[in-house]
Structure 1
C-alpha cells in the first residue's frame, strides 16, 4: 500500500504532515519518530504489526515533509500540533506512541490532551528531563544544525546511538 498524506492547516499555518501507513479501522495508532529521522522509520514495524488498525505517522516540525516549527520550539507546541494534525486527518482520539524524542512529544500529548489520548506508548525514551550536560549538548547540536542549515551536526550522534558491531570486541 502506498502511504497517503494529509496537509491540513492548524491556526492559519501549514500543519504537520500526517502519513497513513495502514488504512484500517477503529481508533488509530499515531507513531511519532525520533530525531533526526521522519515517518519512514516506522514502515517495517507497521508491516510486521498484527491486526487491522489504522496506523498514522506524523513528521514532527522540521523533519520529513513537515514545516519548520515555531521560533521558540517546545514539546508543548509539538504536542498541540500533533493533535491538531491528527484531528485535521479526521480522528478525535488516538493511541499515541513515540520513540526517543517522539516519546517526549507523546508524553506531552497525553499530559495536554488527555481526552484525545486513548493509550500511550513510550519507546526507548524517558519521562524525566535531561541532565544539564545532556541539555547543553542538545542545544549545541541544535544551534549547529540551525546555523549551518545542515544535518552534519547530528552525524556525531551515530556513535552514541549505535552499538559496536556484533563480535567486534567480545571478551573471552
Structure 2
C-alpha cells in the first residue's frame, strides 16, 4: 500500500495511532512512550511507499525494534499489568478468591521470561493472528506458534499449584 500523499499518511496515522500507543504503553517506561511512538511513525513516514496493505503488524514490529534500541540505558521497573477477565472458572464468587487468583497470575507473569511475556501479550492483549504476531517478532508463523505454546505451558506450570487460569490464555491459536 504505497502512500504517496500526506493525506494518505494522516489516514494511516489516525487509524493506527491508538493501537501503537497501547502497544508501547504496555511495554515501555512511561517516560519513553511518546518518543517511541513518535519514532515509530517517523519510520513509517520514511518508508511510507513500502508499507504493507495492513500496516498494523509492521507498526508493532517497528515499535518493538525502537523499544529494544531505547532500552539500553533503562530496564523495565515494573512488570506488565496482567489483563484478566472475570474468572468464569472460579467456583466461588468471593471477592477475596478473585483477588488471590489475580495476585497469583500477576506473580506468575512476573516470573516469566520477557520473550514468553511478549508472545503471550501479542496473543492476548493485541489479539493478533499468529501470522501477524510472527511479523512483529520477526519469525515464521510456525516458530511463533511454538513459542506461544511453550509460553502457555510455562505460565500454566507456574499456576498449576493454584489451578488459576485465564480463559484468554487457554484458547487455541
* TM-score (ref. length: structure 1): 0.30
Q: Which structure features the higher share of helix residues?
A: 2
Q: Which has the larger radius of gyration?
A: 2
- Structure number with the bigger relative contact order (C-alpha 8 A, sep ≥ 6) is 2
